Amino acid sequence: MFTPIDLTTWPRREHFAYYRGPLPCGYSVTVRLDLTRFLATVRARGLRDYPAFIWCVSHCIVQHPAFRMGFGPNGEPGHHDVLHPNYTVFHEDDHTFSDVWTAHDEDFAAFYRAFLADAAAAQATHGMKAKDGLLPNFYCISCVPWLDFEGYTTYVPQGTPALFPIFTYGRYREEGGRTTAPLAVTIGHAAADGWHTAEFLNDLQTLLDTVDLPAVDEGGRP
């Protein structure tokens, strides 16, 4: 579902027009997330952390309209009810990756099983796009598990910044009994100001600190 924004009453209408017109820019923010509680839950349930983390990000996006912005069929700005994750699957044999997506489901178990099926299918191909039919309401997320970074920037030279968010997170760091990881968020300024991104990241950290994910039967999947 897509809901157009009423531009006559929207407080950010001037900000949106400015950052889509005279100054079409986006920005990236890198923070360090505390994954201690989240990883303890994941491991206690026998889950895989990559799909579990992606579900948490997708669930948090549902709660934040600024991170669900897009355009309707007539070019009008508005909000999708949900964004679906478009993520990467790495191939160890030739060090390339494949792009794949899984429809978000607020039912964690349903999403988790669908993710495993999509990721397994992507492992069988080495093409750039491993799954057709990407829906227009998507966002991008990937992991760079080999790198513990302090800053990470995504940009499109001479292009207009996308309204949807782009997430990149990195290698875990063990320090003082805590496990942390860097997370970079890139988003168009027309969609979100610093306040919106701060609220999103604070809520994501709270979710990682409190989420109680269920164990999921993977059906003998390797």
> Which of 83, 77, 49, 70 is closest to 200 using CA atoms?
83
Of 59, 91, 189, 196, the active-site residue reads: 189
**pTM for the whole thing?**
0.95
Quick one: tokens of 43?
Answer: 């491991």
154 vs 40: CA distance, rounded Å: 31
Q: What is the pLDDT of residue 154?
A: 80
Q: What is the pLDDT of residue 111?
A: 98
Parallel/antiparallel/unpaired status of strands 173-175 and 166-170: unpaired
Per-residue b or e along 188-218, where b marks 16 or more CB atoms closer than 10 Å to that residue's CB = bbbbbeeebbeebbeebbeebeebebeebee
Catalytic site residue 126?
no
pLDDT (tens, 9 = 90+) of the chain, 222 residues, equals 999 999 999 999 999 999 999 999 999 999 999 999 999 999 999 999 999 999 999 999 999 999 999 999 999 999 999 999 999 999 999 999 999 999 999 999 999 999 999 999 999 988 899 999 999 999 999 999 999 999 998 877 677 888 999 999 999 999 999 999 999 999 999 999 999 999 999 999 999 999 999 999 887 565
Q: What is the pLDDT of residue 221?
A: 60
Q: What is the pLDDT of residue 155?
A: 74
Contacts of 46 (CB under 8 A, 6+ apart): 215
Q: What is the pLDDT of residue 180?
A: 98
